[in-house]
Amino acid sequence: MKFGEKLANICEVNNSLLCVGLDADISKLPSHLLKQDDPIFTFNRSIIDSTRDLVCGYKLNIAFYEFLGREGLDALKKTIDYIPDPLLIIIDAKRGDIGNTAQMYAKAFYEVLGADAVTVNPYMGFDGVSPFLEYKDRCAFILCLTSNPGAKDFQHLVAEGKPLYLHIADKVVEWNRFGKCGLVVGATHPRELQEIREAAPELPFLIPGIGVQGGNLEAAVRWGTCGGQPLAIISSSRAIIYASDQEDFAQKARDEAERVRSAINLYKISPRLTTD
């Protein structure tokens, strides 16, 4: 099944565009879990069990696993293996390098870890992205306009009359002749999100920044879904998984995920939109 088909299917099954980020920071885990042999996996498993019917998938930022060395990478693999079909598995790695190195990254994420999608940095151009596009049923979410404040340092620079993020969107539309591209666009930039959607009406968007970063959820839904099509994956990490640091953490995560999903679904049918 192609990525777009899998996305549409799970969005319908769970009535959800919400993706939960499993960014399990061991310093923030409930203290009682630290007594477990594998606290990261135990935490992730509990979050998955409590939210699996409310989400379209899970996003795992690989940095939270790599810094723990082999123990962390083992927890990453166990977590990915535990995520049930048909939920999406997105690895947030932001990789980007020359072709032969990018090919090894693609093999690691798609073949070894079994991800459905990976975030990719386009700075080195098409030869750094193309190895991720060789997998017919996967998706490369290419950084376009990120949710962090530092995005303005480069991504807003104007060249030939338009900002860099629109040049990226235009280029990724060209690359999507392979049908395997998406864009990362932060919910913290609602007006720019509209511009990018107009430039790339058929691409799926991975939209971070709605939780702790305070992004505009309403705009994310309006411009992400693009006329009602399930082309948005709206990601929230810390606000959901750290809703509690007590033994009730899994239930509190479920409560917050249900609240966010309900808000997303409300905005899907609401004509009102504010992008300020």
Give the model's pLDDT for residue 276: 47
Domain membership of residue 162 as a residue range: 3-269
| 24 domain-assigned | yes
pLDDT digits (tens, 9 = 90+) for 11-59: 999 999 999 999 999 999 999 999 999 999 999 999 999 999 999 999 9
Strands 88-95 and 57-61: parallel
Average pLDDT value for residue range 254-275 = 83
**pLDDT the model gives residue 195:** 96
pLDDT, position 105 = 97
Decide if 274 is inside a domain.
no
CATH no. for residue 114? 3.20.20.70
Tell whether the model's pLDDT for residue 257 goes beyond 50: yes
Q: How many domains is the chain built from?
A: 1
> Has residue 14 been placed in a domain?
yes
Residue of 94, 107, 171, 268 marked catalytic? 94
**Mean pLDDT, rounded, of the chain:** 94
- The verdict on residue 221 lying in a domain is yes
Q: What pLDDT score does 99 carry?
A: 85
User: What residues form DSSP beta bridges with 182?
Assistant: 141
Q: Assign 3-class secondary structure to the chain.
A: CCHHHHHHHHHHHCCCCEEEECCCCHHHCCHHHHHCCCHHHHHHHHHHHHHCCCCCEEEEECHHHHCCCHHHHHHHHHHHHHCCCCCEEEEEEEECCCHHHHHHHHHHHHHHCCCCEEEECCCCCHHHHHHHHCCCCCEEEEEEECCCHHHHHCCCCEECCEEHHHHHHHHHHHHHHHCCEEEEECCCCHHHHHHHHHHCCCCCEEECCCCCCCCCHHHHHHHHHCCCCCCEEEEECHHHHCCCCCCCHHHHHHHHHHHHHHHHHHHHHCCCCCCC
Has residue 84 been placed in a domain? yes
What's the pLDDT score for residue 270?
A: 64
The pLDDT of residue 213 is: 83
Is it the case that residue 273 has pLDDT exceeding 60?
no
Question: Has residue 276 been placed in a domain?
Answer: no
Residue 212 predicted with pLDDT over 90: no
The span from the CA of 58 to the CA of 147, in Å, is 18
Model confidence pLDDT, tens digit, residues 75-122: 999 999 999 999 999 999 999 999 899 999 999 999 999 999 999 999
The average pLDDT across 159-170 equals 97
59 in active site: no
pLDDT of residue 275: 47
Mean pLDDT of 141-164: 96
